[in-house]
Amino acid sequence: MEHLETLARKVCEVAREAGHFIREERKRFKQDAVREKRVHDYVSYVDKESERRIVSALRTLLPEAGFITEEGSAVYQNEPCYWVVDPLDGTTNYIHDVSPYCVSIALRSREALLLGVVYDPSLDECFYAWQGGGAYLNGVPMHVSGVDCVENAFSFIELPYEAGHYKQTGLHLINRLYGRVAGIRMNGSAALALCYVAAGRFDTWQEAFIGKWDFSAAALMVMEAGGRVTDYYGSPHFLEGHHIVATNGLLHDEVLRLLSEALPEGM
């Protein structure tokens, strides 16, 4: 395998090309192109074509790697390493012509994340990291924030589609944090929310009932930027799960404590 830094930079170009396609296609996008995969979870030809282009380019870069992709255009067949691809994270934002949305690409082995790239075509921001090499935004090193008091925290509270399972937890978090922290936001893209934690723009984030393609690339960025990533129970073995907490590290235990008071059903 190529040196991870070299490979990460090549993957940045793959993500940029897919992002440019997404951005240009938005100019002529029609609502009748949208299909509902499940309640409030949407897909369009843009997701599928973006994924096709990404998979084709990554196969050229690393022919021996398998794939896990959101739209299922390629498969994992027990290869030692594989790509995890979200061709358009934030589809609901995209179909309503609202930012942010992005392309997310990770490479991982069976045990660990190796590299991650997330590209936001609206702002032309390319976030990337490789194992042991740090995390970067358009070539500039990223670091998590130094906020150590929850009252000063700028926090993401994302609400997943599974309202029946998560409503109690979401309302609990909002109830406990609203008026206490410096600010609460939702952005509709798990990948970019994680990137913003890595870049020190936000201090905490958590979401459940999401796929590997949503978090894999950007979770590596948080860790390489000095932050902490676990599941809702505090385990660092989050890669095969669907519930993730990412923080600057200093506020992590407080977020886990709040979650423990109202863990979602079906965890």
Type of residue found at 150: V
**Range 6-40 burial, b when 16+ CB lie within 10 A, else e:** ebbbbbbebbbbbbebbeebeeebeeeebeeeeee
Which pTM does this prediction carry? 0.93
- Calculate the dihedral angle through the C-alpha atoms of 204, 132, 211, 67, rounding to the nearest 10 degrees: 160
pLDDT tens digit sequence for 117-166: 999 999 999 999 999 999 999 999 999 999 999 999 999 998 888 888 89
Closest to 12 in 3D by CA, of 256, 217, 236, 259: 217
Element (H, E) at 125: strand 125-130
Determine how many CB atoms are found less than 10 A away from the CB of residue 220: 29
Q: How far is CA 203 from the centre of its chain?
A: 15
The residues near 200 (Cβ < 8 Å, ≥ 6 apart) are: 142, 143, 144, 145, 225, 248
Average pLDDT, the chain: 91
Contact 70/211 with Cβ under 8 angstroms?
yes
Q: What is the pLDDT of residue 36?
A: 61
* Segment 35-89, tens digit of pLDDT: 665 544 556 778 888 999 999 999 999 999 999 887 776 777 778 999 999 999 9
Domains and CATH numbers, the chain: 4-141 (3.30.540.10), 150-260 (3.40.190.80)
